[in-house]
Structure 1
Amino acid sequence: MTDKTKILIVEDDMIIAANISLQLTNLGYEITGIVCRGEDAILHVQENKPDILLLDIHLKGKLDGIETAKLIQSKNELSLIYLTANSDDATFSIARETHPMAFISKPLNLLELKRAIELVEAQVRKHKQEKEHRDPEIEFMDDRIFVRQNGKRIKLLLKFILYIEAERNYCNVVTEEKSYLLSSTLKSISEQLPTSLFIRVHRSYVINISRLDVVAESHIEIKRKVIPVSKTYREVLLKRIKTI
């Protein structure tokens, strides 16, 4: 990687965390921060966008490491490495559902941690290269998009798209007739859609403003689908409605 790999350390033992930070910095990695609570980790990831989350499974506080990982993964795409002093089979089974790249046992072995991070970097590079070389899943044109489904290119006129819903690192593009699941983030799709027709109303929803049926205090409806509206986007939505 040409840029430094950015790592967030989430560890409630600050002596251990500081030692990890020092050693990884000496190896050339960028430490975006050290936090000791899951709640702080969630906020930090949103603001600093690390590449790797180095996360203790047994955190103190309301959120343990696994719960923290699930909440972060619901909104962000990053690689996960767990730190654990001891993990029973039940905990390991639950942790595995978050698809970590590695489990590193405490006390930490620097060589083992370094190799785990290098494997993550290699996996990320491979995924990026594969993504760049395969046919694009979605192509944008002035009044339409083409989506790839089952080896075919399907034309969708923008005016017939009702809304787009985020599902972790996937998106559902919903029309009156059917929906199309794409392995793209809501952010990447919404940035290429015309703002004259599409508007974000929630972290998980972009809507076709011309297809609005109902506007309520905290939600809207399109074809009887109830879609939440965040306070962040409500004022912009109301202004746009007045211009239709």
Structure 2
Amino acid sequence: MNQKTRILIVEDDMIIAANISVQLSNLGYEVMGIETRGEEAILHARANTPDIILLDINLKGAINGIEAAIEIQKSKKIPIIYLTANSDEATFAKAKATHPYAFISKPFNNLDLQRTIALVVDQIHENSAEVKDISEHFEVLVDRIFVRHNGRMVKLLLDEILYIEADRNYSNIITSSGNYLISTTLKVVEKEIKSHMFIRVHRSYMVNIAKLDVVADNHLEINRKVIPISKSFKEHLLKHLHTI
């Protein structure tokens, strides 16, 4: 690898942490450090921005690994790989909500670690290439986005967007004044738009919940457009509607 992937290890068992550090170094990665507490991991991540954080869920101290990840993600988008010996559903659900790149269950062997890190590094490289391509067609700010339209970048306020519809590898942004087709998948658009007002309701639709006119059992309506709701997204949508 031309530029070494930098990895922060957060593990309160120093024997395990030292073993991981040796393995990663032997595989050609750069170990940025070993932290044993969630509070220290947060400070380290904010100051140094590692490429990957190997994060034990069950840390000693005031906060656990999941809580540390939440704090880190408030200011940094750093891929997380959880290390865990705890496989109960409640813990898994909390960890999953932080969108980790992978889980490694303890005890693990060298091959488990090697393969998981390699897969995550590949994902990071793919996402970086995708983001570079996105920047030429789609840029997100706090309250607006810029999209390439007719050879120029056009500003769209998030409040103006009614819904966004997938069209294979493209997304069609629908506003009350016009439509804007961008060469970016809906999955990527969903990742980039951080506003809590935009909710995925179907594999092909993302809606601005402030623009909803009708919420029925199996569909929504926005500006007379009927939009289907998938069962897998319905509960998430209803929770958001109850909070606004």
Paired residue secondary structure (2:9)? strand
Match of 1:147 in 2: 146
Two-structure CA RMSD over aligned residues (Å): 2.8
Structure 1 residue ranges (4+ consecutive) displaced by more than 6 angstroms after TM superposition: 149-152
Give 1:82 shift.
0.5
> Do the aligned partners of 2:39 and 2:68 also contact (CA within 8 Å) in 1?
yes
Match of 1:137 in 2: 138
1:154–1:114 Cα change, 3 Å: same
AA at the equivalent of 1:33: G
1:109–1:47 Cα change, 3 Å: same
Q: What CA deviation, in whole Å up to 9, does each residue of 1:170-221 have, x standing for no partner? A: xxxxxxxxxxx99399xxxxxxxxxxxxxxxxxxxxxxxxxxxxxxxxxxxx
Paired residue secondary structure (1:107)? coil
Aligned residues: 156
1:35–1:27 Cα change, 3 Å: same
1:155–1:105 Cα change, 3 Å: closer
1:57–1:155 Cα change, 3 Å: closer
> Do the aligned partners of 2:137 and 2:148 also contact (CA within 8 Å) in 1?
no
> Do the aligned partners of 1:146 and 1:153 also contact (CA within 8 Å) in 2?
no
Q: What CA deviation, in whole Å up to 9, does each residue of 1:43-62 have, x standing for no partner? A: 11112210001000000110
Give 1:37 shift.
0.2
Paired residue secondary structure (2:75)? coil
Match of 1:127 in 2: 127
> Do the aligned partners of 2:6 and 2:30 also contact (CA within 8 Å) in 1?
yes
Whole-Å separation in 1 of the counterparts to 2:28 and 2:78: 19
Whole-Å separation in 2 of the counterparts to 1:150 and 1:51: 34
What TM-score, normalized by structure 2, do the two folds share? 0.58
Paired residue secondary structure (1:59)? coil
Alignment of 1:103-118 (within 5 A): 103-118=103-118
> Do the aligned partners of 2:25 and 2:31 also contact (CA within 8 Å) in 1?
yes
Match of 1:73 in 2: 73
Whole-Å separation in 2 of the counterparts to 1:138 and 1:107: 42
Whole-Å separation in 2 of the counterparts to 1:72 and 1:128: 20
Whole-Å separation in 1 of the counterparts to 2:60 and 2:49: 23
AA at the equivalent of 2:70: K
Q: For structure 1, which runs of at least 5 residues remain unmatched after alignment?
A: 140-144, 157-180, 186-244
